Amino acid sequence: MILSEGAGAILLARDGRMLIECAHPGGYFSRRAEAEKLLKHILCDLAQTEIDFVISSANGTFIDAAESHALQRLLPNALVYTVKPALGESVGAAGLWQVILAAEALRTRELPPVLHADPKVPMR
C-alpha cells in the first residue's frame, strides 16, 4: 500500500439532482471473510443492473483478493479498475477520488492507464 495525501471536491449545479438508489454504510472488519461477506452483500443489490465498470477500492492489501473474488463472481463482465497504484491510498479522500474518477470516466468514456499492473490480478 502506498500512502498519500490529497483532497477532492465535487460541485453540483443548483438545477442538478442526485439519485441514490441504494446506499450501504460500509463496515469495519478485521478478517478477510468479513470483508468478502460485506462486499457480496453490497454487490448483490447491484447484480440486477447492467454495470460496465467498477472503480475498485484495491490498495495493495489482503482485502484486494476478497474484493476481486466477489466482483468476478457477481459482475463477471464488468471492467474492474483501481486508481490507487497511481494516486496511493489517501484514506480520507480516497472515496471522493473514486467518485471523481467514475464521473470523468462516464464523461470522457475513458479510464487512465494503471501503473505497475500485476498481470495475475484481474483489476485494471
Residue 74 in domain = yes
Per-residue pLDDT tens digits for 49-94:
678 888 888 777 888 888 888 888 888 888 888 877 777 777 777 7
Q: For 44-53, 63-72, 98-107, which range has the lowest pLDDT when averaged over its residues?
A: 44-53
In a domain, 13, yes or no: no
16 occurs within a structural domain: no
- Alpha-helical regions (H) of 47-115: 63-74, 84-87, 94-108
Considering the domain boundaries, does residue 24 fall inside one? no
- Domain count for the chain, please give it: 1
In a domain, 61, yes or no: yes
Q: Is residue 116 part of a domain?
A: no
pTM above 0.75, yes or no: no
- Residue 22 forms part of a structural domain: no
Give residue 62's domain range: 32-108
Q: Does residue 21 have a pLDDT over 60?
A: no
For residues 52 and 115, what is the distance between their CA atoms, to the nearest angstrom? 21
Residue 104 located in a structural domain: yes
Across 35-51, b (16+ Cβ under 10 Å) vs e yields bbebbbebbeeeeeeee
What pLDDT is recorded for position 8?
A: 75
